[in-house]
């Protein structure tokens, strides 16, 4: 009896030990792998045509009357200059040269000239330009350095030409001088008198004036061509009428030379500017009661002409952006426009889109310009943008499809539970062509390890790999039919890891 009992305890002990080992070594340990795919991102960009994507280059030459009778260098005009620079700085890549209208005897062309620049790095400027450079904050105070020159002949138009010629950037130069190539070049002459050069010559007063205006207009336009300037304007703030606050003029009652040069240079622009009305780039000093407004007409002219651009391309996204070409909407000032197919028929209103990075001039008037590299829409008819219209372009990222679910560990096949957005997905049977579920990728009877599986596919029922892909290593479920998932969906797999 005792022997039988002892044997029974030994058997029970072995069974308990075996049972204990089984619980510790072979019990199921559930594992959960999950993946959340980034959702579709919608982006809307709005901009108005007065705010250009690339600031236009605008180079100014301000010639300040520094004769003993001049009224231009005072606290009010200093304030007006600061206001003008503030206005210019928000919209343009600018160079501004400040120089006296009249030089004392023996002075060189660039004597007393100061240069304020915005976006041009010092390393890209000539030594000549750097020698004249002054800080933006010192612009108004720099006027005090101009000498007061009394009883001297005034040759303001030729002075402008000399400064432009002396400080222009040469073709092929890798360094910018004060006046750059392919810029808007703006000359502003301020004088209480007139250009004495108009009185010189062998003809009568009228003939000498005509010859002067013709030759100086031609010289300024030659400078425009040598600079490849988008435009060259010769603004004058002078006496255009008889006024008592200044002394009498002789032989003309008011400025003729400056006014007519302004007018002829204005009319020689192509196309002729339409931004000033009847002023034709000359403003009446006699009508100025508050010198803080002395540049108002010029400021408005610059804004209207330079910023009054017309666009037939509009930026959509930078190169490398992930955008869906079928999900682009274009709205201008509240009106939506349809997408058109190339070639676009005459008279159509809308936009076309080429799904490729392009480098184009977004603006076509008053000249071609404002290059942009990236994705763009091409605008037709009423969809084209003209200052001050605004446009909004809405895009969204491409919808991406995924045909695989990923497991980090080798699964026990019978334990797999797949859920997409919390909804269970069933396992496929033998007929995969009609299945809307999953199959475990196996090699023989067991799951197979894949080191670089691209989970991204072209779309449901099209398992062609899509690039750029989402590549992972591990074990995978292949989805079939409408079980494929896309942006914003969550995938969860619960399974028992295999011990082998």
The SS3 call for residue 220 is: helix
Q: Are 70 and 184 part of one and the same domain?
A: yes
Mean pLDDT, residues 288-317: 77
Q: Are 377 and 437 part of one and the same domain?
A: no
**For residues 404 and 400, what is the distance between their CA atoms, to the nearest angstrom?**
13
Does residue 298 surpass a pLDDT of 80? no
**For residues 158 and 151, what is the distance between their CA atoms, to the nearest angstrom?**
18
Q: Among 22-36, 157-171, 380-394, 415-429, whose mean pLDDT is lowest? A: 22-36
| pLDDT for the residue 132 | 96
| pLDDT for the residue 1 | 44
Asked whether the beta carbons of 394 and 328 are under 8 A apart, the reply is yes
- Short-list 444, 447, 466, CA closest to 406: 447
Whether 8 maps to a domain, the answer reads: no
How far CA 256 is from CA of 159, 203, 287, 351, 366, in Å, comes to 17, 17, 17, 50, 30
Whether 16 maps to a domain, the answer reads: no
**For residues 339 and 342, what is the distance between their CA atoms, to the nearest angstrom?**
10
Q: Among 84-98, 124-138, 248-262, 294-308, whose mean pLDDT is lowest? A: 294-308
Mean pLDDT, residues 209-227: 97
Asked whether the beta carbons of 276 and 266 are under 8 A apart, the reply is yes
Mean pLDDT, residues 351-372: 89
Q: Are 391 and 441 part of one and the same domain?
A: no
| pLDDT for the residue 67 | 80
Does residue 8 surpass a pLDDT of 60? no
Q: Which of 345, 362, 396 is the last residue of a domain?
A: 396
| pLDDT for the residue 249 | 84
Q: What is the mean pLDDT of the chain?
A: 85
CATH number of the domain enclosing 107: 3.40.50.410
- Short-list 235, 117, 227, 225, CA closest to 186: 235
Q: Are 344 and 388 part of one and the same domain?
A: yes
Whether 5 maps to a domain, the answer reads: no
Q: Are 341 and 480 part of one and the same domain?
A: no
10 or 130: whose pLDDT is higher? 130
**For residues 370 and 376, what is the distance between their CA atoms, to the nearest angstrom?**
13
Whether 421 maps to a domain, the answer reads: yes
Whether 461 maps to a domain, the answer reads: yes
Mean pLDDT, residues 427-443: 92
What stretches of 195-334 show up as alpha helix (H) in DSSP? 205-226, 257-268, 296-307
Asked whether the beta carbons of 162 and 63 are under 8 A apart, the reply is no
Mean pLDDT, residues 383-400: 87
Mean pLDDT, residues 59-84: 82
Chain centroid to CA 306: 16
| pLDDT for the residue 9 | 40
Does residue 414 surpass a pLDDT of 90? yes
Q: Are 463 and 318 part of one and the same domain?
A: no
DSSP readout, 89-154? HTT-EEEEEEEESSPPTT--TTTT-EEEESS--GGGB-HHHHHHB--GGGHHHHGGGSPPB-S---
Mean pLDDT, residues 201-226: 95
Does residue 18 surpass a pLDDT of 50? no
pLDDT one-digit tens code per residue, 87-116? 787 778 899 999 999 999 999 999 999 999
| pLDDT for the residue 40 | 63
In which band, very low, low, confident or very high, does the pLDDT at 20 lie, cut at 50, 70 and 90?
very low
**For residues 91 and 319, what is the distance between their CA atoms, to the nearest angstrom?**
25
Whether 222 maps to a domain, the answer reads: yes
Verdict on whether the full-model pTM lies above 0.75: no
**For residues 313 and 368, what is the distance between their CA atoms, to the nearest angstrom?**
11
Tokens standing for 255? 């400025």
Consecutive H or E run containing 287: none
Does residue 178 surpass a pLDDT of 60? yes
Q: Are 374 and 408 part of one and the same domain?
A: no
Most confident of 243-257, 269-283, 343-357: 343-357
Q: Which of 307, 340, 374 is the last residue of a domain?
A: 307
What is the β-pairing status of strands 231-238 and 282-284? parallel
- Short-list 135, 22, 27, CA closest to 85: 135
The total domain count for the chain is: 3
Handedness of CA 381, 387, 388, 391 (dihedral sign): positive
Asked whether the beta carbons of 426 and 437 are under 8 A apart, the reply is yes
In which band, very low, low, confident or very high, does the pLDDT at 68 lie, cut at 50, 70 and 90?
low
Q: Are 350 and 434 part of one and the same domain?
A: no
Q: Are 127 and 111 part of one and the same domain?
A: yes
Q: Among 297-306, 419-428, 469-478, whose mean pLDDT is lowest? A: 297-306
Mean pLDDT, residues 329-340: 93
**For residues 307 and 91, what is the distance between their CA atoms, to the nearest angstrom?**
9
Asked whether the beta carbons of 391 and 314 are under 8 A apart, the reply is yes
Asked whether the beta carbons of 391 and 47 are under 8 A apart, the reply is yes
Handedness of CA 165, 166, 170, 176 (dihedral sign): negative
| pLDDT for the residue 344 | 95
Q: Are 265 and 241 part of one and the same domain?
A: yes
What is the β-pairing status of strands 450-454 and 471-479? antiparallel
Tokens standing for 428? 């496929």
- Short-list 29, 28, 30, 27, CA closest to 492: 30
**For residues 99 and 145, what is the distance between their CA atoms, to the nearest angstrom?**
10
Whether 303 maps to a domain, the answer reads: yes
Q: Are 236 and 326 part of one and the same domain?
A: no
| pLDDT for the residue 15 | 39
Domain that holds residue 172: 57-307
In which band, very low, low, confident or very high, does the pLDDT at 39 lie, cut at 50, 70 and 90?
low
Does residue 380 surpass a pLDDT of 60? yes
Most confident of 145-154, 255-264, 277-286, 314-323: 255-264
**For residues 156 and 112, what is the distance between their CA atoms, to the nearest angstrom?**
15
Q: Find all residues with CB under 8 Å of 349, minimum gap 6, and list them.
A: 337, 338, 380, 381, 382, 383
Q: Are 416 and 381 part of one and the same domain?
A: no
In which band, very low, low, confident or very high, does the pLDDT at 2 lie, cut at 50, 70 and 90?
very low
Count of Cβ atoms closer than 10 Å to residue 465 Cβ: 13
- Secondary structure of 390-420 in the HEC alphabet? EEEEEEECCCCEECEEEECCCECHHHCEEEE
| pLDDT for the residue 55 | 75
End-to-end CA distance of the chain: 45
What phi and psi values does residue 252 have, to the nearest 5 degrees? Answer: -100, 150
Q: Which of 396, 411, 446 is the last residue of a domain?
A: 396
Whether 26 maps to a domain, the answer reads: no
In which band, very low, low, confident or very high, does the pLDDT at 35 lie, cut at 50, 70 and 90?
confident
């Amino acid at each position: 009896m005792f022997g039988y009992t002892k044997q029974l305890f030994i058997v029970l002990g072995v069974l308990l030990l075996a049972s204990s080992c089984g619980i510790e070594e072979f019990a199921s340990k559930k594992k959960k792998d999950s993946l959340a795919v980034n959702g579709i991102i919608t982006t809307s960009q709005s901009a108005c045509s007065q705010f250009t994507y690339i600031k236009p280059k605008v180079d100014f030459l301000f010639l300040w009357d520094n004769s003993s009778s001049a009224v231009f260098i005072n606290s009010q005009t200093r304030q007006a200059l600061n206001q003008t620079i503030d206005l210019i700085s928000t919209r343009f890549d600018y160079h501004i040269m400040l120089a006296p209208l009249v030089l004392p005897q023996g002075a060189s062309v660039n004597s007393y000239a100061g240069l304020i620049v915005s976006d041009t790095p010092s390393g890209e400027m000539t030594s000549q330009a750097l020698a004249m450079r002054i800080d933006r904050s010192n612009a108004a105070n720099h006027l005090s350095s101009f000498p007061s020159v009394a009883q001297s002949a005034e040759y303001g138009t030729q002075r402008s030409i000399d400064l432009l010629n002396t400080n222009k950037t040469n073709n092929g130069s890798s360094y910018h001088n004060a006046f750059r190539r392919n810029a808007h070049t703006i000359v502003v002459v301020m004088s209480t008198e007139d250009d004495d050069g108009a009185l010189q010559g062998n003809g009568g007063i009228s003939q000498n004036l005509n010859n002067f205006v013709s030759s100086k207009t031609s010289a300024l336009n030659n400078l425009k061509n040598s600079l490849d300037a988008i435009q060259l304007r010769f603004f004058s703030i002078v006496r255009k009428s008889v006024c008592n606050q200044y002394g009498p003029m002789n032989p003309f009652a008011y400025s003729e030379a400056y006014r007519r040069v302004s007018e002829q240079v204005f009319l020689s622009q192509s196309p002729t500017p339409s931004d000033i009305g009847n002023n034709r780039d000359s403003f009446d000093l006699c009508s100025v009661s508050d010198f803080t407004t002395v540049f108002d007409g010029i400021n408005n002219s610059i804004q209207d002409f330079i910023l009054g651009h017309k666009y037939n391309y509009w930026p959509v996204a930078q190169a490398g952006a992930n955008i869906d070409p079928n999900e682009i909407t274009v709205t201008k000032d509240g009106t939506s426009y349809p997408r058109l197919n190339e070639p676009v028929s005459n008279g159509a209103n809308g936009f076309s889109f080429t799904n490729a990075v392009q480098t184009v001039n977004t603006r076509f008037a008053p000249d071609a310009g404002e290059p942009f590299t990236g994705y763009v829409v091409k605008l037709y008819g009423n969809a084209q943008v003209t200052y001050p219209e605004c446009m909004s372009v809405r895009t969204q990222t491409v919808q991406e499809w995924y045909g695989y679910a990923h497991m980090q560990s080798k699964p026990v096949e019978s334990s797999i539970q797949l859920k997409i957005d919390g909804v269970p997905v069933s396992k496929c049977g033998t007929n995969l062509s009609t299945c809307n579920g999953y199959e475990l990728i196996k090699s023989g009877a067991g799951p197979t390890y894949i080191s670089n599986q691209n989970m991204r596919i072209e779309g449901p029922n099209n398992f062609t790999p899509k690039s750029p892909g989402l590549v992972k290593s591990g074990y995978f479920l292949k989805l079939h039919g409408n079980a494929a998932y896309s942006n914003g969906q969550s995938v969860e797999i619960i399974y028992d890891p295999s011990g082998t």
